[in-house]
Copies of this chain bind each other. A is one copy, B any other.
């Protein structure tokens, strides 16, 4: 019974995640979420009192997943070479598996940055999974040791994340501009990772 409840909650959250990712907050329909989770609409409000609250819960889950994955990777001892080689791969492959997460995150990044700030702050505060400060410190040390060319750890990280994330945002754009449809996704991501790692290593390693 308690298991059932937890299960229903999970089913709702998964359905909500899909709906919010596909249509954005305003475009998402509570009835659609209910239908997709195979429950009565009233149940949504029983479990999560409002659309807004449901969304916030989903958002928190998204950040938790993304930063969980990154956090566990960072905790290893790393050289800059290894970092620039593995980070894009992990990030790109993770997003390829969970494109909904990126959609939700980017949507909020653009339309409600304060949401992102709040959710991020909460994650960093509550969960142990990902602490930005040690990472920024590590990058600073690398520069101090003359291993990398970018002095500012923020720009260092931005360059990495930018190239990784854009593999997804930019795909339709690139297809439209070039007129070439990407045939095979696996192939595309493979070549994208190679290009990103190459640019980053040549561009930022000393």
A106 touches B169 (CB 8 A): yes
Query: Nearest Cβ distance between residue A92 and chain B, in whole angstroms?
Result: 12
B116 touches A173 (CB 8 A): yes
* Residue A48 interfacial (CB < 8 Å): no
B203 touches A180 (CB 8 A): no
- What size tier do the contact residues of chain A reach? 35 or more
Q: Flag A103-122 by CB within 8 Å of B: 1 or 0 each.
A: 10011011101001100110
Count of identical protomers in the assembly: 2
Docked CA distance A42–B203 (Å): 55
Docked CA distance A202–B206 (Å): 10
- A interface: dominant SS: helix
Known: A24-B27, A26-B26, A203-B203. A162 touches B166 (CB 8 A): yes
- Considering only residues 159-206 of chain A, those with a C-beta below 8 Å from chain B are 159, 161-163, 165-167, 169-170, 172-180, 191-192, 195-196, 198-204
Docked CA distance A72–B185 (Å): 33
Known: A26-B24, A198-B149. A176 touches B121 (CB 8 A): yes
Docked CA distance A121–B173 (Å): 11
Where the two chains meet, the residues of A that have a C-beta atom closer than 8 Å to any C-beta of B are: 22-27, 103, 106-107, 109-111, 113, 116-117, 120-121, 124, 132, 136, 149-150, 152, 154-155, 157-159, 161-163, 165-167, 169-170, 172-180, 191-192, 195-196, 198-204
